[in-house]
Chains A and B, each alone.
Chain A
Amino acid sequence: MSQLLEFQRRLSSAVMQPLSRGDRMRRSARNQASMEREAEALVKPNSRLSSLERLEIYNQQYWFRILSCFAEDFPGLRAVVGRARFERLMRAYLAECPSRSFTLRNLGAQLEAWLRRNPEWIRAAERLALDMVRLEWAHIEAFDSACEPALTPAELERGLAGGRLNLQPYIRLLELRYAVDDLLIEVHNREHSEDTSSNAAQDRLTRSRVRSYAKPLPGAVYLAVHRSDDSVYYKRLEPVAYQILEAIGAGRSLREALDALLAHNEGRGTDMISSVQQWFANWAELGWFCRPEPLLLARTSRYA
């Protein structure tokens, strides 16, 4: 192993080590090794700061930065679980799931899976919290995923006749148990974002303001998280409409999707056809359909 790699492993381990309760550098590592001795081995002191104090600046900067970004990405989860629990939850998540991407955008990519493995963090409102996390991650993905050229009316007609369509890459379909969309809209109205190239993150944590929100009532919600004019919207869907879009998103032919629906809605054929026509007209107007790709991955998300 090169000296540089060994050095970087030791230093990053120290920098990424969780902070103490008072947001100071811990005096011992997870393996009980003295951080003071580790700092002295790596970092020179100066006339004002000890080795540990200089290392602590980086330790604090690391955590302040990623906590600030994470809190900015999941204000809805914070509203659901409360500020104190959210603070502990995000520190535990980020300690176990550090960033593996060059962009902070992906910081919360593992959050839903992590919460399912660690439900004690959301025990008081598990389903509500999971719904919120799924919606917030869908929002992040809908915001900056690709947009393919929408089908023209003629192309759409051919696609319908040929039986295959493709959903825009930015669309996310969610089957939820709570109306978290209303809650998240309320929360987002009080948020803002910014970009930076400084390597300082000293005071960003102090900015967040947490208010109390009314808990949404339980009830199935079918949602398309989509984008129009570069803004993300949450469009509620009829359950049948959701199933059709989910089938299209999963790469099934239009005939397969519609046949299955009609089979499950016997006696409602005429009403159903009329509704389906209206839905397709609306979705086409929103530009939700694009040309099929050979390898289509499902972009739906259902609760377990």
Chain B
Amino acid sequence: MPANRFNGFTDYGAGIGLRIPHYRHILERKPTVEWFEIISENYMIDGGRPLTILDRILEQYRVVQHGVSMYFGSAEPLNRDHLRRLKALVRRTGTPWLSDHLCWGSVDGRYTHDLLPMPYTFEAASLTAEKIRQVQDFVEVPVVVENVSSYAEFHMSEMTEWEFLNEVVEQADCGILLDVNNIYVSSQNHEFDPFTYVNAVPAERVAQIHIAGHSKYEKYILDTHDHPVIDPVWALYARAIERCGRTATLLEWDDKIPSFEEVHAEALKATRYLPAPEYSFLPASERMAAEAVR
């Protein structure tokens, strides 16, 4: 969405993930990039090179934090050490919002380090929303939750994934990081129409969008972040932008990472769909008219 309370009243365009193979290129050539997304956990440390690099990046670029292990949906309480380190990093980066996944991954203190899908139950929605609220209160920046890709559905689910997402964000009063690639992957694995999902999301809560590539296997699709974005995912993205307006968009490319230029060029394809910032406050029909005049 354009500037709103879920994205810290910012108006970011297309960004890319900050990844180790690109450090040298970025620091030496200082390319123009709207913003970088970092994996929070890689910088929740006490010292050393990652923080030095991050501080140099922060001197010249806007950075948004994305987490992978808060596990809002785990039944166990939040990890206080994790929260303290996360808050310290939030203060360091000045991230306007903070994202992590709508998933679980730990139980009884044991971590799977995976983004495991939730059973879509009302009990799980309430517990997850309560934990999101606790994190938001503690870190004092807007928290947004990302839909994960999944390879399994559970018998105990009482609703669809998008109904669960809506239930959680309403109860938590938080924003959404809408990953349209994840929606596509899950739709293929679970045989639903991905547009039904995109159309069901409360557009006013979408703070950020993820796009990415994936890998197709014989019987399922795996969310590998190691390919360019495919056309059906761009189509979902176009629909999401149509509904949400100009929204901070991040290309994820985490494996078999090509050159910085290639990754950045792929991310900039999103600008074909993104309205210019100055018209973003207008409804879709008026925005298109304004763009045509321009």
**Could you tell me which A residues sit within 8 Å of B by CB distance?**
2-5, 7-9, 11-12, 15-16, 41-44, 46-49, 53-55, 57-58, 61-62, 65-66, 69, 98-105, 143-147, 169-170, 193-200, 202, 204, 227, 230-231
B156 contacts across to A, CB distance below 8 A: 3, 7, 42
Asked if A99 contacts B113 (CB within 8 A), the reply is: yes
Contact of A48 among B82, B148, B220, B224 (CB under 8 A): B220
Asked if B21 contacts A194 (CB within 8 A), the reply is: yes
A194 contacts across to B, CB distance below 8 A: 19-21, 254-255, 257
A12 contacts across to B, CB distance below 8 A: 106-107, 110, 112, 116
Asked if B114 contacts A199 (CB within 8 A), the reply is: yes
Asked if B119 contacts A7 (CB within 8 A), the reply is: yes
CA distance A46 to B151 in the complex (A): 10
CA distance A54 to B152 in the complex (A): 6
CA distance A66 to B105 in the complex (A): 13
Contact sample, A vs B, 17 pairs, CB 8 Å cutoff = A3-B121, A11-B116, A41-B155, A44-B154, A57-B220, A58-B151, A98-B110, A99-B110, A143-B48, A144-B45, A144-B46, A144-B47, A144-B50, A196-B254, A197-B225, A198-B254, A202-B222
Task: Find the B residue at minimum CB distance from A61.
Answer: B114
Asked if A195 contacts B20 (CB within 8 A), the reply is: yes
Contact of B155 among A9, A42, A98 (CB under 8 A): A42
Name which of B36-44, B234-242, B275-283 contacts chain A: B36-44
Asked if B112 contacts A16 (CB within 8 A), the reply is: yes
Asked if B113 contacts A65 (CB within 8 A), the reply is: yes
Asked if A198 contacts B223 (CB within 8 A), the reply is: yes
CA distance A7 to B223 in the complex (A): 24
Asked if A2 contacts B75 (CB within 8 A), the reply is: yes
- If A42-B155, A43-B154 touch, whether A170 touches B113 (CB-CB below 8 Å) is no
Asked if A16 contacts B110 (CB within 8 A), the reply is: yes
Asked if B114 contacts A58 (CB within 8 A), the reply is: yes
CA distance A144 to B224 in the complex (A): 28
Asked if B48 contacts A145 (CB within 8 A), the reply is: yes
- If A12-B107, A66-B113 touch, whether A3 touches B79 (CB-CB below 8 Å) is no
Contact of B20 among A42, A55, A65, A193 (CB under 8 A): A193
Asked if B114 contacts A15 (CB within 8 A), the reply is: yes
A65 contacts across to B, CB distance below 8 A: 113-114
B75 contacts across to A, CB distance below 8 A: 2, 4-5, 8
Asked if B46 contacts A199 (CB within 8 A), the reply is: no
* Chain B min CB distance to A148 (Å): 9
Asked if B152 contacts A43 (CB within 8 A), the reply is: yes
CA distance A58 to B252 in the complex (A): 21
Asked if B151 contacts A54 (CB within 8 A), the reply is: yes
A102 contacts across to B, CB distance below 8 A: 41, 69, 79, 81-82, 106, 111
Q: Does B59 contact A (CB under 8 A)?
A: no
CA distance A97 to B156 in the complex (A): 30
Segment 119-161 of B: residues with Cβ below 8 Å from A: 119, 121, 123-124, 127, 148-149, 151-156
Asked if B224 contacts A200 (CB within 8 A), the reply is: yes
**Could you tell me which B residues sit within 8 Å of A by CB distance?**
17, 19-21, 39, 41-42, 44-52, 66, 68-69, 74-76, 79, 81-82, 104, 106-116, 119, 121, 123-124, 127, 148-149, 151-156, 189-191, 212, 215, 219-220, 222-226, 252, 254-255, 257
A105 contacts across to B, CB distance below 8 A: 45
Asked if A4 contacts B124 (CB within 8 A), the reply is: yes
B52 contacts across to A, CB distance below 8 A: 230
Task: Find the B residue at minimum CB distance from A198.
Answer: B225
* Chain B min CB distance to A168 (Å): 9
B115 contacts across to A, CB distance below 8 A: 199
B41 contacts across to A, CB distance below 8 A: 102-103
6 shortest interchain CB distances as A-B pairs: A196-B254, A146-B46, A230-B49, A5-B75, A198-B225, A144-B45
A147 contacts across to B, CB distance below 8 A: 47-48
* Chain A min CB distance to B213 (Å): 10
CA distance A25 to B151 in the complex (A): 15
Contact of B219 among A8, A49, A204 (CB under 8 A): A49
* Chain A min CB distance to B247 (Å): 19
* Chain A min CB distance to B174 (Å): 19
- If A144-B48, A227-B48, A230-B49 touch, whether A2 touches B123 (CB-CB below 8 Å) is yes
B257 contacts across to A, CB distance below 8 A: 194
Asked if A5 contacts B20 (CB within 8 A), the reply is: no
Asked if B21 contacts A8 (CB within 8 A), the reply is: no
Asked if A197 contacts B190 (CB within 8 A), the reply is: no
CA distance A104 to B39 in the complex (A): 13
Asked if B222 contacts A231 (CB within 8 A), the reply is: no
Asked if B191 contacts A47 (CB within 8 A), the reply is: yes
Q: Which of A7, A55, A204 has the most CB of B within 10 A?
A: A7
- If A41-B155, A57-B151 touch, whether A145 touches B20 (CB-CB below 8 Å) is no
B148 contacts across to A, CB distance below 8 A: 199
